[in-house]
Amino acid sequence: MSQMKELSIPSRILMGPGPSDVAPAVLQAMAYPLLGHLDPAFLTIMNDNMEQLRVVFGTKNRLTVPMSGTGSAGMETAMANVLEPGDSIIIGVCGVFGQRMVDVAQRCGATVHVVEAPWGEEIRADQIREALDKNGPVKAVAVVHAETSTGVWQPLAEIGRLAHEHGALFVVDAVTSLGGIPVDVDANEIDVCYSGTQKCISAPPGLAPVTFNEKAADMLRNRKTKVQSWYLDLGMIQSYWGSERLYHHTAPISMNYALREALRLILEEGLENCHKRHETMGRALQDGLEAMGLTLTVREEVRLPQLTTVNILAGADDAAVRTQLLEDFGIEIGGGLGVFKGKIWRIGLLGHSCQAKNVVLLLSALENILKKQG
């Protein structure tokens, strides 16, 4: 093998569905020397992260920790710890991430009742009510708060209320919502919630914050079977993150530095201001796209500000436009997934990527490219 050249990374503006750009301070945090995973200085950082995550999640839940792994590890943590073989769960599916939840829940040995809505629309509460009435007692009802494959903002309150009326836990995927739009775990009576670091939290991919309330933690303690995943078993994870400080697996040290700094930046800005920024920039981008004659995929009432989906103009070459954005302007946006492949673009204004200069640059770059393509 010939000698490798030194690592060189091209300059990019990340405006796809994740990962998002990361603030310089967060990158710097990762360059600090490593600490041992039981070093008192690292234990303090773990406490800082749990404390800051509670604020960002809007919860007092004691069991609030960043799991090792990306957002999907958060999803597996939720499903593997909530579900035992033979349990039933209702899952709302109107995009890729709802589908992924179904797959994960089935792998946990659960019977899954799927409630579907067309892509680009939200799950309606009356659909959940019908499924609850029809399928008898279920362990949980799960929905995706911000469906990144479609750009839909799923309303939560009514579905949570219905789940609780039927004695089910309310499980919410907040991977793309946390930090971008209000999640308010306690106010929305969410029992189990998980997220990821590389969307609106704007740290590199690698940790999955999760939070379980007391009811969910009780259920965890009263399980009849072991959690099928050793790595994601929250009972054991809690023994490390809680007061016992029992070794389970080595915490991703540098990632926890990054998360601490990323959360600190959000709280320094103020969580509400951070949401406001996403709302304002998202609106500006969406207005700009419409002014160019493009049509948005999702109707306004349930449209996310941080992840905009736009219909690809008839005659425009999907792949060529995205390649040109990357090569000529250094901008990454996302293509469509699944049903929407080749039909939409997905433009993210997630966390640190959510800046006025990025909105202006993207709009003019896109206009420039589309004009050239005729």
Ligand X SMILES: *Cc1c(COP(=O)(O)O)cnc(C)c1O
Binding site for ligand X (CB under 6 A): 18, 70-72, 75, 97, 144, 146, 148, 173, 175-176, 196, 205
Smallest separation, CB 262 to ligand X (Å): 15
Structure tokens at 167: 């004695």
Residue 345's beta-bridge partner residues? 310, 335
Between 145 and 166, name the residue whose CB sits nearer to ligand X: 145
Between 58 and 74, name the residue whose CB sits nearer to ligand X: 74
Between 69 and 160, name the residue whose CB sits nearer to ligand X: 69
> Is residue 187 within 8 Å of 58, Cβ to Cβ?
yes
Between 18 and 282, name the residue whose CB sits nearer to ligand X: 18
Smallest separation, CB 16 to ligand X (Å): 11
Smallest separation, CB 339 to ligand X (Å): 16
Smallest separation, CB 146 to ligand X (Å): 6
Q: Is 30 exposed, middle or buried (0-12, 13-18, 19+ CB in 10 A)?
A: middle
Between 166 and 346, name the residue whose CB sits nearer to ligand X: 346
Smallest separation, CB 292 to ligand X (Å): 26
Smallest separation, CB 129 to ligand X (Å): 24
> Is residue 149 within 8 Å of 177, Cβ to Cβ?
no
Q: Which residue is nearest to ligand X (CB)?
A: 71
Between 202 and 324, name the residue whose CB sits nearer to ligand X: 202
> Is residue 58 within 8 Å of 182, Cβ to Cβ?
yes
